[in-house]
Amino acid sequence: MNIGAVDHIEFYVGDAQQSAFYLCTAFGFRVRGQAGPETGLRDRRSLLLSQGGVDIVLTSPLTIEDRAAGYVARHGDGVANIAFEVTDAAQAFATAVERGATPVEQPAVHSRCGTEVVTASVLGFGDVAHRFVQRTGGREDFLPGVMDIFADDPDVSEQLLHTVDHAAICLPAGELGSTVAFYEKVFGFGQIFEEFIEVGDQAMDSKVVQSPSGKVTFTLIEPVTDRRPGQIDGFLARHGGAGVQHLALLTDDIVATVPAMEARGVKFLETPDTYYDELIERLGRPELGIEDLRRTNVLVDQDHWGQVFQIFTQSMHVRKTFFWEVIDRHGARTFGSGNIKALYEAVAREKAMA
């Protein structure tokens, strides 16, 4: 199937312009294109936002018949499509359907002025689809014939974020194993990590699957039902089933990126001082200065290959079902044994302060 990197992430949202304003103001994205009735999309309007190698499409329904309308009604604003770069979209679609995936969008060819993009979609988990994207002629014309691309912005600010590192996905209890098997069978992913996390009298299971290219990574999480209901149960109840809990965006200097984003208005979760007081004993001396980590509330973990630094935003979602992660990898390929537990405890602290 030759899945490369994440081509783009599409959100279904109630108001694309309002969502774009927040992501541009707080995260430094720029609006690069638009689509709607004036470009041939009758029932929806989309905005393309870009920064570094991250492309985000925000889509709002204009009629109740549009697929986005049903999604927003059930889940609120959220990730609806995680698109994959492929060398042959029609073949990837046919292979995925043959292996058991549910078709969502049949293969379609979009072309203009020497640029051609072939797309097709299948269902992944819950109401989230995966779009196969085959590009010929570069990415400048994102979806030729469908989306109008704006002239380059001459006042482009510093690029704080570079690529999509991974997506964290909450699943109903009992679906973790079958979802891992689905991604292995249909998309050729492999499991690279697993962890059972206990925090007090709550617990959850987690497995990480990754494409053969190593460029698409999903952290899959399910609650443990014989423990007290916790964050994952809360997400599933408020979201209305399986969905993306957070997206992690990669930066190459997290201790500089966090203050820059805070100055723009991003609110991050706080970490208690005791975390840093115990850090050397737990992990040894980190590659970034402990006082820099303390000042920015950045967490650190490690695997066999190196260290990983991360921080999570407070959720701006009305249902508190989506937030962002900023991550900086210093050689680490996975997440370390305390990574997901650190997230679980950080979100618990935010909930306790609410």
What confidence tens digit (pLDDT) does each residue in 300-310 have?
A: 999 889 999 99
Give the type of residue at 111: S
**pLDDT computed for residue 201 by the predictor:** 80
SS3 label, residue 308: strand
At residue 170, what are phi and psi to the nearest 5 degrees? -95, 135
Taking 90 as the threshold, does the pLDDT of residue 341 lie above it?
A: no
What confidence tens digit (pLDDT) does each residue in 212-231 have?
A: 999 999 999 999 988 888 88
Question: Averaging pLDDT over each range in 100-104, 269-273, 333-337, which range is the top one?
Answer: 100-104
CA distances from 12 to 67, 80, 127, 269, 298 (A): 9, 6, 11, 25, 30
Taking 60 as the threshold, does the pLDDT of residue 343 lie above it?
A: no
**pLDDT computed for residue 154 by the predictor:** 64
**pLDDT computed for residue 345 by the predictor:** 67
Closest CA to 165 of 273, 106, 82, 94: 82
What confidence tens digit (pLDDT) does each residue in 254-273 have?
A: 999 999 999 999 999 998 88
What share of the chain in percent tops pLDDT 90? 79
334's tokens:
């996975």
| Residue partners of 51: CB distance under 8 A and separation at least 6 | 27, 28, 29, 30, 159, 160, 161
**pLDDT computed for residue 122 by the predictor:** 98
Average of per-residue pLDDT values in the chain: 93
Taking 70 as the threshold, does the pLDDT of residue 350 lie above it?
A: no
Which whole number is the average pLDDT over 140-166?
A: 87
Q: How far apart are CA 206 and CA 204, in angstroms?
A: 7
Give the gyration radius of the chain's Cα atoms: 20
| Residue partners of 270: CB distance under 8 A and separation at least 6 | 297, 349
pLDDT band at 192 (very low <50, low <70, confident <90, very high): very high
What pTM was estimated for this model as a whole? 0.94
User: In the chain, helix, strand, coil percent, each to 5?
Assistant: 30, 35, 35
Taking 80 as the threshold, does the pLDDT of residue 199 lie above it?
A: no
Taking 60 as the threshold, does the pLDDT of residue 7 lie above it?
A: yes
Which secondary structure element, helix H or strand E, spans residue 294, and what is its range? Answer: helix 290-296
Which whole number is the average pLDDT over 141-155?
A: 87
**pLDDT computed for residue 282 by the predictor:** 81
| Residue partners of 305: CB distance under 8 A and separation at least 6 | 331, 332, 333, 334
Taking 70 as the threshold, does the pLDDT of residue 121 lie above it?
A: yes
pLDDT band at 346 (very low <50, low <70, confident <90, very high): low
Q: How far apart are CA 349 and CA 341, in angstroms?
A: 12
What confidence tens digit (pLDDT) does each residue in 272-282 have?
A: 888 888 888 88
What confidence tens digit (pLDDT) does each residue in 291-327 have?
A: 999 999 999 999 889 999 999 999 999 999 999 999 9
SS3 label, residue 1: coil
Extended beta strands in 200-306, E state: 202-210, 217-223, 243-250, 299-302
pLDDT band at 44 (very low <50, low <70, confident <90, very high): very high
23-27, 194-198, 333-337: least confident range:
333-337
**pLDDT computed for residue 162 by the predictor:** 95
Which whole number is the average pLDDT over 7-32?
A: 97
